[in-house]
Structure 1
Amino acid sequence: MRSSVIVVIWIICYVIVVITSLVEGLICYECWNAKNDEDCRRKGKVRLCEKSQTACQTTERVDYAWGPITKITKNCKQARACQNNFRQNKRKRNNSQCRYFKNQSVCRCCCIDDLCNFDSDTCTGVTDAKLLRENSPKCPKIRRLRNGVVSCDRNNNPGSNCRFRCKKFHDLHGPGMLRCEMDKLEATWSDKMPCCSKPCPPHGNMDLVFAVDSSIESEENWEKIKELLKDLITTFLVGPRESRIGIVTYNEKVGADSEIFLNSYNSTMQLASAVNTLRSHPGPTRGTRIGQLLDHVNRVSFLKSNGNRRRYRDILVMLTTGAPLKEKLDPKTTAKLLRDNGIDVVTVGVGSYVDMKQLRGTAGFKKRLIEIPGGAQTIGESKFKDRIINIICGETCERR
């Protein structure tokens, strides 16, 4: 009884192996009438063969009467057909097709491993198929998927499919599968590497700083801006292992004395209550110096001593309502310094006094610019809050 069970298990394993090999298929280089192997790899591509094609064939045609002129063709082939072609290389009675330096020569060879027709030398048995696979172009190695699992059927070789799966309570952001594809002489993955993270919101896994323009004159409008801040903050979980959020106000000067740092509060409700203490400061000029603010954020707000953490995405959401003032620091250049340091800059222009051209340069990307032309009176509309959240959560896989 025990021996029969073992036999059944072996039969099942054999069937699984056979089915798997049929589903995956063989991978061959494919090119037509190339001048040489390098020309073939440059113009050709990697082909996933059909199930019936279990061999890679290389055909080398040489016309010695006119040069010599060489034409190399590589493709998938049925094993029996390829074997029959190979037998014609050396036939009896001087009828061989593969005859070097004899006017015209047609040499064919077959192999049965992935990418084994990488080099035409395979026809003469000079190059080992395993060595060819080792020296063939490869995609960059897939790094470990944090909070997830990666499985690749052919490692990082051309034709390999890598599938990604996240652990429990985590969402996959990005493609569920990447394929290693050949582009001329280079092998590249079909898309960017995905990542796994908890749902955003409420989990942001970020260090987020809000920079709020306090030059607004109307106290009523200032309260609306604070309400938007509290709505955004309460959307996320705040804590040492969750998101950290800081707030800095500015006008013609930065309100450094009243700044709320990333590590000032460790709960969502405490931080939301602290928003009520923020005061507007229109100032004598009722304008803003954005370059000065960005310089402060770069030097102070994202310091490690003020709560910034490694492996968490750094984001600055800058909300401005006032007209720009003349200043020494160029906002566009200073914003680029932030991005170079790994800090994403999102700009929100409120009202008609703001310089949208300047804000476009500050944001760096069109998708990170939000315009609220109706002013602070309309800032409480849910569509603006949703757009800010979508930008914050929409690039989850981008880390420093």
Structure 2
Amino acid sequence: MFLCRTLTNAEIHSFRYAGVAAVTLDVNLCTPMNAKGCPLWNTEAIEHGEVECTNLNNIDSRCKASCVDEGYSPYPGSEFKCLENQRWSHKKSCCSKKCPPYLRADIVILAHRQSAETAKKREGTIIASMLRQVETGPDSVRWATLFYSGSIDQETSMFFGDPNLQNSSAIRAKAKSGVPFRQTADGLVNTGKVLRCVKDEMLVEGHRENHIDVVLIITEANSDDSVQHAARRLREYGVFIFAVFINFDGRNVDRNQLRDLVGNTGKFFVVNENDLKNKSNFIADELWKSVCSKVCEFY
């Protein structure tokens, strides 16, 4: 006998941020009455695939997810088990096209620079390495590149929907060409302020359902304002934050500030100028690996 009820909004919110996939308002939570076992969601059917279990959601039951539609594979793995602590061995699987290159995401790149010389090196290496690995388009990855110091430079930045950001070739060409160096008059680096703008004006109001939101910060200097609150608020909305600090002159790097930016869900990298070209592919690999491991939470 099963006891079923509809999930509350609070439960849906908590499940989503705990990593449970595809929980919606019309989902029922069903558990065997007086039975010890794992949550039933891991035994339910998945889009583009199916799940088979040896003993439903009972302890030691072994389940296998398989994808029936061509081009789809199970993520994060195909086999899982109900453990004695009444937890599944990993999160619920989903069927997704190979990631990368296939991914539904909105990527915001925040690029701070202190000199025009560094622009071509930076945008021509890290960003180009990222672009080579994913499909770009309105139904896959959308890009926005915002240049900033004290605030966002509206004239040189490229926002979602910009015709120059519709395909990877156009983005790569724009990145390699560099843009004029424009620093605010006060000379400050206000990464926290810029993150608040991204949250309020781009990724929360403009969030696309079933798409992953990612912010990549590429900077050459510690932020002059606090980043902790703004970064935490973005992460609370499910945004993944990554940071690359390019050290051109051996300056002091505030690693605590970088940790405040990325939290527990993202990663940060500190790269010396001479290693930038060699490390760019590694950084891109690590970023996409982290993002692609989350596809089941959004699809």
The 3-state SS of whatever aligns with 1:135 is coil
Task: Tell me which residue corresponds to 1:125.
Answer: none
Is 1:169 the counterpart of 2:71? The answer is yes
| Aligned-partner Cα distance in 2 for 1:366–1:337 | 13
- The code of the aligned residue for 1:202 comes to P
- The code of the aligned residue for 1:385 comes to N
Task: Tell me which residue corresponds to 1:204.
Answer: 103
The 3-state SS of whatever aligns with 1:168 is coil
| Aligned-partner Cα distance in 2 for 1:366–1:148 | 28
Deviation at 1:303, TM superposition (A): 4.6
Is 1:180 the counterpart of 2:85? The answer is no
TM-score by length of 2: 0.76
| Aligned-partner Cα distance in 1 for 2:167–2:49 | 28
Task: Choose 1 or 2 for highest CA Rg.
Answer: 1
The question of whether the paired residues in 2 share the 8 Å contact of 1:234 and 1:269 is answered with: no
The 3-state SS of whatever aligns with 2:46 is coil
Superimposed CA distance per residue, residues 273-316 of structure 1 (whole angstroms, 9 cap, x where no aligned partner): 343363322445544111111111111222554xx411111111
The 3-state SS of whatever aligns with 1:258 is coil
- The code of the aligned residue for 1:154 comes to N
The question of whether the paired residues in 1 share the 8 Å contact of 2:232 and 2:263 is answered with: yes
Superimposed CA distance per residue, residues 237-284 of structure 1 (whole angstroms, 9 cap, x where no aligned partner): 111221111111111112234332233333222333343363322445
Deviation at 1:348, TM superposition (A): 0.9
Deviation at 1:380, TM superposition (A): 2.1
Task: Tell me which residue corresponds to 1:224.
Answer: 121
Higher relative contact order (CA 8 A, sep 6+): 2
| Aligned-partner Cα distance in 1 for 2:287–2:73 | 17
Is 1:346 the counterpart of 2:242? The answer is yes
Q: Which of 125, 138, 147 is matched with 1:249 structurally?
A: 147
Superimposed CA distance per residue, residues 84-106 of structure 1 (whole angstroms, 9 cap, x where no aligned partner): xxxxxxxxxxxxxxxxxxxxxxx
Task: Tell me which residue corresponds to 2:227.
Answer: 331
Is 1:363 the counterpart of 2:262? The answer is yes
Task: Tell me which residue corresponds to 1:259.
Answer: 157
Q: CA RMSD in A?
A: 2.4
| Aligned-partner Cα distance in 1 for 2:59–2:71 | 33
Task: Tell me which residue corresponds to 2:280.
Answer: 384
Summarize the Cα distance change of 1:278–1:148 in structure 2 as closer, same or farther, 3 Å threshold: farther
- The code of the aligned residue for 2:77 comes to P
Q: Which of 284, 294, 297 is matched with 2:195 structurally?
A: 294
Summarize the Cα distance change of 1:340–1:212 in structure 2 as closer, same or farther, 3 Å threshold: same
The 3-state SS of whatever aligns with 1:380 is helix
Structure 1 spans left out of the alignment, 5+ residues: 1-132
Task: Tell me which residue corresponds to 2:136.
Answer: 238
Summarize the Cα distance change of 1:262–1:153 in structure 2 as closer, same or farther, 3 Å threshold: farther
The 3-state SS of whatever aligns with 1:189 is coil
| Aligned-partner Cα distance in 2 for 1:169–1:199 | 7
Deviation at 1:155, TM superposition (A): 2.0
The 3-state SS of whatever aligns with 1:357 is helix
- The code of the aligned residue for 2:198 comes to V
Structure 2 spans left out of the alignment, 5+ residues: 1-31
Superimposed CA distance per residue, residues 209-241 of structure 1 (whole angstroms, 9 cap, x where no aligned partner): 111113x22x33211012022332233211122
Task: Tell me which residue corresponds to 1:123.
Answer: none
- The code of the aligned residue for 1:290 comes to T
- The code of the aligned residue for 1:178 comes to F
| Aligned-partner Cα distance in 2 for 1:254–1:339 | 21
Summarize the Cα distance change of 1:138–1:146 in structure 2 as closer, same or farther, 3 Å threshold: same
